[in-house]
Structure 1
Amino acid sequence: MSKLNTDILYLISKELQNDKKTLFSLLLVNRNFCEIIVPILWKNPWKPLNYPYKIDKLLIKVIFSHLSKESRNKLKNLDLPINSYKKPFFNYINFCKHLDLNNLNAIDRIIYTIDENFKIKFEIYDLFINENTKFTHLYIPQQSGIPIHLFPEAKRCFSEIKFLSCSTVINSNILVWLTETCKSINELEIIVEEHNNNYIHITKLIDSLKNLVTVYFLKNYPKYSTFPNYHNLPNYSNYPNFSNYSNYPNYSNYLNYSNYPSYSYYPTYSTYINYSHYSNYSNHLKYNDGIYRILENSLAKHASTIKYIKLTKPPITRFLSFFVNLKKLELVDETETHTMKWDCLQNFSLPHLQIIEVSNIPINVLISLIENASESLIEIKTDCVSHDVIDNRRIIQIIYNKCPNLKYLKLLFRNPNILELKKLLINCQYLRGLFILVDLNEDFYWENVFIILAESSPNNLFRFKFNISQILNELELTQLFFDKWKDRAPMLLQFKDCYNNSLEDFKWI
């Protein structure tokens, strides 16, 4: 295959990087295809995994196949056909750009019953942290049993990471090391826990960043909250001293903490969090509010560079009002009762805001955000935003009066307001994609909707999605839509059965 064709194949494969089925099928073509596609598939091997964490057996087997023969022999008793694996054709792990320590902790639980499992775990970590790997994304859980920053190649592996996800209770030594080493982070995910928050070193990390663009400011640990409690994992302090593993390559030289600078000059949890003050629930809430206030003030220092923020809890301060350059705002109420008070987000201006995504947010807050976003909004996505017919009419009117440049819209439409849809289509001439949500508990006048869409849609609008598939049984209605759409650009039409709280509904656009 010529160099030109290889380059073209690489570009095509990158476009298909989210289409795993197609990429897997291309692996069977020839070696050239494999050499191009394998690095794409292994860039983030953890991505296809579903939460709560249950690491894929096939992925485990491939990782284990990179281990030494001695270690694989010790894993024979696991329910994994390790011995059936020959040495891999590729060193797949070298292609990883995302290191998710949550998954490595899950592997630790699998091998916990094996003799010398601690030694095997170090060997697994060594597969990822060595002179042949370099990461762009790092995910650190609440507790990470292995001190990754003490591996000899850690600085080289992580010094250029762009994305960091970390809990606010991770080890102080790791946070100090991240602050000193990782200067290229522009995307930060902070998961604020209920207790033991290491806010001093988290704020130092935030303050050290020079080009912070994206922030996910999350309550608790949403991805891993249902994963077995990490406090139930083995207490590594009870293991023999690392130096006992001196037969394992070089580890005795760098895994003995006594060889490293003392971090004792950094305050311990007990010196800056006196838990006796938080013995009752009200004091606990005040403590948590104080943590959020500190972190929000720290993030506000980056107001000139941050372009995207996601919040899963109402802010304590009005720090968002400082983000005059903010382009995307995502608000998600993940509580079961959805009773959080989001009114604090009303009545301040985000003049350059282009994208709003909300889920379980009060309708009055959403209306206020749209009203105060000038005319810069190009995308509005809503999920589970409960409101009556009057508020539904109000938000539709606000959108078509305040958002002339809108390109993508996902919104609930109620029957009495169908005529407002026509006005929206006429006023929003740049609209390209429309996701119509309907209340599944009420009848919907589909015939009127299809006629309005066919007759009033702007020229650029040809992508439609609906959160109900039963309409497909009404062949006369769908045929009516197709007949009236004739002589226009081909449409992309999709139906689905329910709301999707993932806010990923526009991947089809």
Structure 2
Amino acid sequence: MSNLNSDIFYLIFKELKDDGNALFSCLLVNKICFNIIIPILWKNPWKYLKKEINDQTIFNMEKENKYKKLLDVIISHLSDESRNNIKNKKIFLTNLYQKPLIDYISFCKHLNFNAIFDMISSIFIFYTVPIIENEIINLFINENMRFTHLYIPSRFNYKIYLIPGFENCFSGLEFLKCDLDNNDQSILEELTRTSKSIKNLELTFFGAYIPGLSGITKLIETQKELSNVSYLTYYRVNESSRKSLEDSLIKRTNNTLQYLKINKEPSNIKFFSYFVDLISLEINDSYNDSWKHLVDATLPHLKFLKAKNIPSNNLAKLIENTSEELEEISINSLRCNDSNYGDLIQTIAQSCPNLKYFMLILRNRDIINLEKVLINCQYLSGLNIVIYKYDFDFDWKKLFIILTKSSPIGLYKFKFYIFHDKSLSRLNSDSFNLFFANWKGRQPMLLQTVPIYSCISFKKYFNLIETYKAKGIVKKYEYVKHENIYYEEFEWINQRI
């Protein structure tokens, strides 16, 4: 092992960057591994705070334990001057905060104020929190740091641009996530001066009052490589604020936008016409808008479409205008009494011959339309089926017959989302046996069942599925609880952190 080139180790461990358990287990193998893994772990240490645990009490205990361990290491980097400042405020640090031999902070490329403030508030008494926050902010921002990712929470009023080293810290910024509620726009205005290479921008509006957007609009207009934008509103934001944000996206002279995520219909009816190079569009209606803008939208390069609560007739018009480029479509929520949904599935069957992954709400009356998709979309590889929550008599046997009879040869990945036991009233061992037996000779399937609510009784089929795993018909099966889901929508391999 010692003869392996360190560059090879780096490539191996870089592939494991999202698997914290694997990286931690390799830390003590030897000095070479240690020196390679530490910078990978500390590039974005905040993501390893996440963990999916069923029991909320255990989750809270583990969360606090992780917070304390990471915060202990961060505080141990504080200078003697910072420690004295804290001590002078009658806050006493224990011997746990001895300075480390390695400058872990120097490897950090993600500055996540959300995570930092959560950690501090969960460990320290409330009146000491601002003091600790201020010292840690000064620890991270200096001439020697250079961040690629920045996360700014709501009500963030620390004037970090006055700290020496601010310009150097954020001159190479590529990602910015910012909650705009009651935030000091001067921070964003200063970022406009220092950061010109932001590629990914995530904005949220959680409150109705936004004092002004001059900082963020200027920041957007000055970015040369902005390709991915998400802006989400969770209350009724005033129209002028939202329009100014949309206008700033439109005004960019070099429009490189390829990924867009929004949850409210744009105020400008021609909004989508300015972004003809979009590759990915995610639209989630939270306000019961008409989304009539989609009718005349032409997005010839669109490959990935995710829609939630969007009127089916207008969504169908958009799909018709995509020049058959769509590879992934996700429709995971419908409006009540949407009478055009069946026509939408038919439009997908007719207009998306290159479709590889498809997620849909499935009602009994739409099973026949799904068969048209299976027949016409011969590149289909993965299928996510959300059983319509008001179909209490869902016909599983009919679905399984169509899947085994009409699925294209490359389709072998399935997910079934189930809302309640009533949807399982016609599902029995005979139906499953029919499905699996008729799948014999095809590529072994990757299968997941996802109960939306934990009370759903699906476990009685586990032994039957294991039988077909032993026969090689099912390659992998998982029962994934919805509240602890750790897969991407079109992912069947566990993404561990």
TM-score by structure 1 length? 0.76
Q: Which residue of 1 aligns with 2:255?
A: 304
User: 1:507 is matched by which residue type in structure 2?
Assistant: E
Is the Cα–Cα contact under 8 Å of residues 312 and 331 in structure 1 kept in the other structure?
yes
Identity of aligned residues (%): 45
The 1:413/1:288 distance shift into structure 2, 3 A limit, reads same
Post-superposition shift, 1:388? 5.2
Which residue among 161, 183, 194 is the counterpart of 2:196? 183
Which residue among 479, 494, 497 is the counterpart of 2:448? 494
Is the Cα–Cα contact under 8 Å of residues 300 and 322 in structure 1 kept in the other structure?
yes
Q: Which residue of 2 aligns with 1:507?
A: 491
Q: How does 1:20-169 map to 2 (within 5 A)?
A: 20-48=20-48, 56-68=67-79, 83-84=95-96, 87-88=99-100, 90-107=102-119, 109=121, 111=124, 120-168=132-180, 169=182
Post-superposition shift, 1:180? 0.8
User: 2:357 is matched by which residue type in structure 1?
Assistant: Y
The 1:374/1:79 distance shift into structure 2, 3 A limit, reads farther
Distance 1:359 1:29 in 2: 47
Post-superposition shift, 1:326? 0.9
In structure 1, the gaps of 5 or more residues are: 222-284
In structure 2, the gaps of 5 or more residues are: 52-59, 454-481
Q: How does 1:449-460 map to 2 (within 5 A)?
A: 449-460=399-410
Is the Cα–Cα contact under 8 Å of residues 300 and 320 in structure 1 kept in the other structure?
no
Which residue among 241, 244, 247 is the counterpart of 1:291? 241
Post-superposition shift, 1:389? 8.3
The 1:361/1:299 distance shift into structure 2, 3 A limit, reads same
Q: Which residue of 2 aligns with 1:9?
A: 9
User: 2:452 is matched by which residue type in structure 1?
Assistant: C
Which residue among 380, 383, 386 is the counterpart of 1:437? 386
The 1:35/1:507 distance shift into structure 2, 3 A limit, reads farther
Distance 1:474 1:89 in 2: 61
Q: How does 1:408-427 map to 2 (within 5 A)?
A: 408-427=357-376
Which residue among 201, 214, 217 is the counterpart of 2:228? 214
Q: Which residue of 2 aligns with 1:329?
A: 281
User: 2:24 is matched by which residue type in structure 1?
Assistant: F
User: 2:433 is matched by which residue type in structure 1?
Assistant: Q
The 1:491/1:219 distance shift into structure 2, 3 A limit, reads same
Is the Cα–Cα contact under 8 Å of residues 462 and 491 in structure 1 kept in the other structure?
yes
Tell me the SS of whatever aligns to 2:221. Answer: helix
Q: How does 1:219-368 map to 2 (within 5 A)?
A: 219=233, 288-302=238-252, 304-318=255-269, 319-333=271-285, 335=286, 338-368=287-317
Post-superposition shift, 1:128? 1.4
The 1:474/1:201 distance shift into structure 2, 3 A limit, reads same
The 1:419/1:106 distance shift into structure 2, 3 A limit, reads closer
Post-superposition shift, 1:188? 1.5
Residues 68-115 of structure 1 show CA distances to partners (whole Å, capped at 9, x for unaligned) of: 57867968x999995346544543322221112223334554546567
Q: Which residue of 1 aligns with 2:184?
A: 171
Post-superposition shift, 1:400? 0.6
196-205 vs 468-477, which deviates more?
468-477
Is the Cα–Cα contact under 8 Å of residues 392 and 414 in structure 1 kept in the other structure?
no
User: 2:405 is matched by which residue type in structure 1?
Assistant: E
Tell me the SS of whatever aligns to 1:123. Answer: helix
491-500 vs 369-378, which deviates more?
491-500
Q: Which residue of 1 aligns with 2:461?
A: none
Residues 161-191 of structure 1 show CA distances to partners (whole Å, capped at 9, x for unaligned) of: 1011224443243222111100111112233
Tell me the SS of whatever aligns to 2:319. Answer: helix
Q: Which residue of 1 aligns with 2:349?
A: 400
Q: Which residue of 2 aligns with 1:202?
A: 216
Is the Cα–Cα contact under 8 Å of residues 362 and 385 in structure 2 kept in the other structure?
yes
Post-superposition shift, 1:433? 1.0
Q: Which residue of 2 aligns with 1:281?
A: none
370-379 vs 497-506, which deviates more?
497-506
Residues 427-449 of structure 1 show CA distances to partners (whole Å, capped at 9, x for unaligned) of: 00111111011024423222232
User: 2:21 is matched by which residue type in structure 1?
Assistant: K
The 1:204/1:114 distance shift into structure 2, 3 A limit, reads closer
Distance 2:82 2:167 in 1: 27
Distance 1:31 1:466 in 2: 46
Which residue among 376, 385, 391 is the counterpart of 2:340? 391
TM-score by structure 2 length? 0.78
